Amino acid sequence: MAAQRSPSARQRRLAAILRSLRKEKGMSREVVAERLGCSPPTITRIEAAQTSARITDVTMMLEIYGVPDHTKEILLQLARDARKRGWWDKMSDTIPEYFQSYVGLEEDASSISGYESEYVPGLFQTEEYARAVINAEPTLPPEEELTSNLSIRMKRQERLVSAKPPEMWMVLNEAVIRRDVGDEGVMRRQLQRLLELSSQNFINIQILAFDSGAHPAMNGGFRILKFPKLSDPDIVYLEYWRGSIFLEAPDDVDDYNRLFDHLRARALGPDQSRRLIEQAAGGSSGP
């Protein structure tokens, strides 16, 4: 089965607007589907941003909802933008289906924050560190698949050197910088990469030291994605082995924002964190 197209912030925004317009008119999905000549599940998928709506369908929906002409053109342009293919679509055969949605949203995010308990986040990984992480899987992927996965990971990192990189604030458990991934040389170079990134004015890296004791995120890592437009709600992304969960309910997002605030408060400050990373890097000896 073909993987679903990755949603972007634009697609989510359009979906939310179309859903809101329908509800304001007091119309059911069945009624709208009948007028469009499609099935009710199609309307459901459009309103859930699970599929890109065709421009002709959006045009008809806006007419059904009685949207004024000046607003209609704005929404049609949004629909056109939402259908633009991103670089990740060309690699959809090699990106795990559960991860495609995240890649599309990550590309649009203006801010990415979160916590990682076990390994360096993908946007911060060196290629050799990423290779070691992938090779730790119970079943090693074929070399062609491994090469493709590494290419995708490195492609994602281009956002960090773009004209408008996302603001990033990550809290890393001390285990992330202490656990040897790959040989000592690989680990040292990865730590040096973290130090280089932490010097960027749009990137904050804090270490949650072992001696901070128990903390509220001991059950795992997470990401909070924010977007340029206030109309695009924040998203919490949780990943588990071979799958992921997106949380969009305001109460859930608020809970994770509070959780992140607690972690930042418990973690070492940026300067102290850099010193600890330097210490860990200095403790490695390798080529």
Binned at pLDDT 50, 70 and 90, residue 265 comes out as very high
Q: Tens of pLDDT along 13-32?
A: 888 889 999 999 999 999 99
Q: Do 238 and 117 form a contact (C-beta atoms < 8 A)? A: no
Other beta carbons within 10 Å of 104: 22
The fourth-level CATH superfamily of domain 9-82 is lambda repressor-like DNA-binding domains (1.10.260.40)
User: Could you give the CA distance from residue 256 to residue 235 in angstroms, rounded to a whole number?
Assistant: 10
Model confidence at 287: pLDDT above 50:
no
Domain limits, CATH 1.10.260.40, in the chain: 9-82
pLDDT value at residue 6: 54
Class of domain 87-282: alpha beta
Domain limits, CATH 3.30.870, in the chain: 87-282
User: Could you give the CA distance from residue 70 to residue 214 in angstroms, rounded to a whole number?
Assistant: 55
Q: Tens of pLDDT along 72-98?
A: 888 888 888 777 766 656 666 667 766
pLDDT value at residue 1: 35
